[in-house]
Structure 1
Amino acid sequence: MSTLKKILLLALFSITLMGCNDPESVAAEAAQLRAEQHPDRTYVGENNYYTMESSGDIQFTTKKDLKVMYQDFPRYFIEKAKEWPKEDLNDASSYDLPRFQFAWANSSSKDEYESGLKIWSMKTDGTDLRLVTDATIGFASIRNLARSPNNRYVAWAGSGGQKGVYDLKTGKVTVIQKTTSPLDMLWSEDSRYLYHERYRNRYSRWDSETGEISEVDFDVRTTAVNFGGKRTTVLDFGVLVENANTNDELNWIGVDRSLSMDERSLDVTSIDPEGRYAWGSNPFFGFFFDIEKGTVKQMTTDYTPAQILGKDAHFSALDSFAKVRIVDRVGEQVWSWRAFYYGALSGDAILYNGLANNGLWFKEGK
């Protein structure tokens, strides 16, 4: 064999080897193999995937007959959270529906990162799961969450009462409370201030622009909303509407004072994103507040509890996400599905971006 032919053969062999070791080629082949072996899975990275599973029958406390809906929803299997897409404020497609936010440890393995509590979010139709922040790893529990109206800041109250804020725009984490404290938190309408109960019956605000903490002279509750210049708060026995700038009382809508303390106490509460409607219930009654009209409807039968309330009270959900349970309160329909195959949840889920899609939790035709 001539020297020239040997050189050409060696060059061809080298090119072939380079093609075989090309990372993109190897990844493409691995992806194709996974797709052939598991056609029911949609992989996100090498170690994570989701399947589409039908919603099914539901069991939860309700005194109203609802039509059970059957529809495919994603069920997520996440082994490597760092490979999962993070929530991105610049991705408009993530914000075309209202979203749920919750604390979830995606794995029960001994790996400290995967078994640690992280904050996640997903659309109300179960799609577009995103990792919000892993800054909460190390907390034994996350007991409360609050998202700013502009979606930029997520605040949490963890075990021991510590409070922190994560800025999705900068990635910065700020600890605003290091010692044991109450859990209540509420964002201002312009997303600048986080109001919180710093000590028992002492309330403060954290300024997201300056980092300063100063006292305020009004009560802070988590079941509240700042909207349209009003602060609307669900209290133990009714709903208080105040001027958000002056703190002057504008209206009080109380439950029937002839009831006993136990009968009129609001144990389960929620409020819609605009402060137009609110819900309260206890073992005896359900109470639906039409805040614009200043009325409250007291019910003993034919009602469905609402731990999370959507715009115009059209949709509601239970806040425990071991199983997602959504109710269309207008259409009297209910969906129930398991979004996660494994892992552990902590605390309650919340709703944010609640005015997207005119407050409807599903796209038209779904």
Structure 2
Amino acid sequence: MKKILLLALFSITLLGCNDPESVAAEAAQLRAEQHPDRTYVGENNYYIMESSGDIQFTTKKDLKVMYQDFPRYFIEKAKEWPKEDLNDASSYDLPRFQFAWANSSSKDEYESGIKIWSMKTDGTDLRLVTDVTVELVNGIKNLTRSPNNRYVAWADLGGYKTVYDIKTGKVVELSISMSPLAMLWSEDSRYLYFERARDLFSRWDSVTGEVSKVDFDIETSAVSYGGNRTVVYPFGVTVFDSITNEKKLLIDVDEKLPFKEARMTVRSIDPTGHYAWGSNPSFGFFFDIEKGTVKQMTTDFTPAQILGKDAYYSALNSFAKVRIVDRVGDRVWSWRAFYYGTLSGDAILYNGLANNGLWFKGDK
């Protein structure tokens, strides 16, 4: 009887050792012991915390370099990584960046393909937005996100435009021929306005799926908010009524400037359309659209390729190294969010009104 009992206990022990959950738990414990600095997400992916460091971009303003720990991500298997979830409110308590990234240089077609990702402005909560991949040779030049966060749209280097519905997983191809890159969402997220050919503009209806012509132009440096469509053009800012398309305000840079000194090669606008930025190698231009003014600067300014609410924060849109500036407190953070992989095109800001537009929790 004792032998039978011992044999049964031995069998149970063996079964426990072969249980997938037990094996996974033991493997996780082993990884934790071998690499205590890593936080694993799945079996093949992890992140470590590293301090931000010195800035590496041209600025004509003295900024205080901030040292703070940020996540640095190592992702071998994107399919194991958490996807952005519209129902997860915790993901949307801060503004977010969206960008195109091929997370691996391996021969695996999926892992080496460019996919859309997002993360909070403080570097946390990295999420895979869509499994739809784009070949590196085509790349992604321009990205946009609807105000309700549901729709992602992108244009590749040839101008082909695609929309992805995060809620349903549906993919819509908007353009079947080469065309410019400009795209802009309506304030209610129903329409995506886009440039289908040079000086020819259309809108896609997210409810009906129909594409129709529109009789106004689109710029990527623009926002629809508060019943207005505010556009940053190469030589100034114009505010239109979103319904009637009536021009309500025009703010131009100094018309006496030579062409190269007046043309803004860097342009951005805050999520509410109250402030805008433009710059070139000679000047920086800060637009207070509510007041109808523009301040021209030759020194003491920092370019803003991405502009946060009320122009409190800005960032450069190349995420090989994340570079964020507190334009009120004259502080700067610079860190590497990714260990390897290939980035494509420019990052954008979305969900920009969360946390009152502040990019770090605890700021006022």
2:144 corresponds to which of 143, 146, 163: 146
Match of 1:258 in 2: 256
1:21 matched to 2:21: no
Match of 2:59 in 1: 62
Match of 1:313 in 2: 311
Give the Cα–Cα distance (whole angstroms) in 2 for the partners of residues 112 and 159 of structure 1.
Answer: 19
Give the Cα–Cα distance (whole angstroms) in 1 for the partners of residues 90 and 17 of structure 2.
Answer: 36
**1:344–1:139 Cα change, 3 Å:** closer
Q: TM-score, normalising length from structure 1? A: 0.98
The answer as to whether partners of 1:276 and 1:290 remain within 8 angstroms in 2 is yes
Give the Cα–Cα distance (whole angstroms) in 1 for the partners of residues 55 and 257 of structure 2.
Answer: 32
1:158 matched to 2:136: no
Point out 4+ residue stretches in structure 1 off by more than 4 angstroms: none
SS in structure 2 at match of 1:177: coil
2:133 corresponds to which of 131, 136, 148: 136
SS in structure 1 at match of 2:360: coil
For residue 10 of structure 1, report the CA deviation from its aligned partner.
3.2
Match of 2:231 in 1: 233
The answer as to whether partners of 1:289 and 1:296 remain within 8 angstroms in 2 is yes
Alignment of 1:1-366 (within 5 A): 4-138=1-135, 140=137, 141-364=139-362
Which amino acid letter does the alignment assign opposite residue 351 of structure 1?
Answer: L
SS in structure 2 at match of 1:345: strand
- State which drifts further: 45-54 or 160-169: 160-169
- State which drifts further: 158-167 or 303-312: 158-167
Q: TM-score, normalising length from structure 2? A: 0.98
Percent identity between matched residues is 79
For residue 12 of structure 1, report the CA deviation from its aligned partner.
2.0
Which amino acid letter does the alignment assign opposite residue 239 of structure 2?
Answer: V
Which amino acid letter does the alignment assign opposite residue 200 of structure 1?
Answer: R
Give the Cα–Cα distance (whole angstroms) in 2 for the partners of residues 178 and 76 of structure 1.
Answer: 35
The answer as to whether partners of 2:134 and 2:140 remain within 8 angstroms in 1 is no
Give the Cα–Cα distance (whole angstroms) in 2 for the partners of residues 14 and 172 of structure 1.
Answer: 49
Give the Cα–Cα distance (whole angstroms) in 2 for the partners of residues 365 and 309 of structure 1.
Answer: 17
For residue 5 of structure 1, report the CA deviation from its aligned partner.
4.1
Over aligned residues, Cα RMSD in angstroms? 1.1
Q: 1:226-256: per-residue Cα shift (whole Å, max 9, x none)?
A: 0000000001110000000000000000000
The answer as to whether partners of 1:54 and 1:71 remain within 8 angstroms in 2 is yes
Identify unmatched segments of 5+ residues in structure 1.
none
SS in structure 2 at match of 1:160: coil
Give the Cα–Cα distance (whole angstroms) in 1 for the partners of residues 347 and 308 of structure 2.
Answer: 13
Q: 1:8-51: per-residue Cα shift (whole Å, max 9, x none)?
A: 33322221111001111111110000000000000000000000
The answer as to whether partners of 2:270 and 2:310 remain within 8 angstroms in 1 is yes
Give the Cα–Cα distance (whole angstroms) in 1 for the partners of residues 9 and 60 of structure 2.
Answer: 75
The answer as to whether partners of 2:110 and 2:133 remain within 8 angstroms in 1 is no
The answer as to whether partners of 1:120 and 1:131 remain within 8 angstroms in 2 is yes
Q: 1:184-226: per-residue Cα shift (whole Å, max 9, x none)?
A: 0000000000000011100000001111000001100110000
For residue 134 of structure 1, report the CA deviation from its aligned partner.
2.1
**1:175–1:222 Cα change, 3 Å:** same
- State which drifts further: 133-142 or 119-128: 133-142
Give the Cα–Cα distance (whole angstroms) in 2 for the partners of residues 81 and 179 of structure 1.
Answer: 30
The answer as to whether partners of 2:146 and 2:152 remain within 8 angstroms in 1 is yes
Identify unmatched segments of 5+ residues in structure 2.
none
SS in structure 1 at match of 2:32: helix
The answer as to whether partners of 1:161 and 1:178 remain within 8 angstroms in 2 is no
The answer as to whether partners of 2:230 and 2:240 remain within 8 angstroms in 1 is yes
The answer as to whether partners of 1:139 and 1:159 remain within 8 angstroms in 2 is no
The answer as to whether partners of 1:55 and 1:73 remain within 8 angstroms in 2 is yes
Which amino acid letter does the alignment assign opposite residue 52 of structure 1?
Answer: M
Which amino acid letter does the alignment assign opposite residue 353 of structure 1?
Answer: N
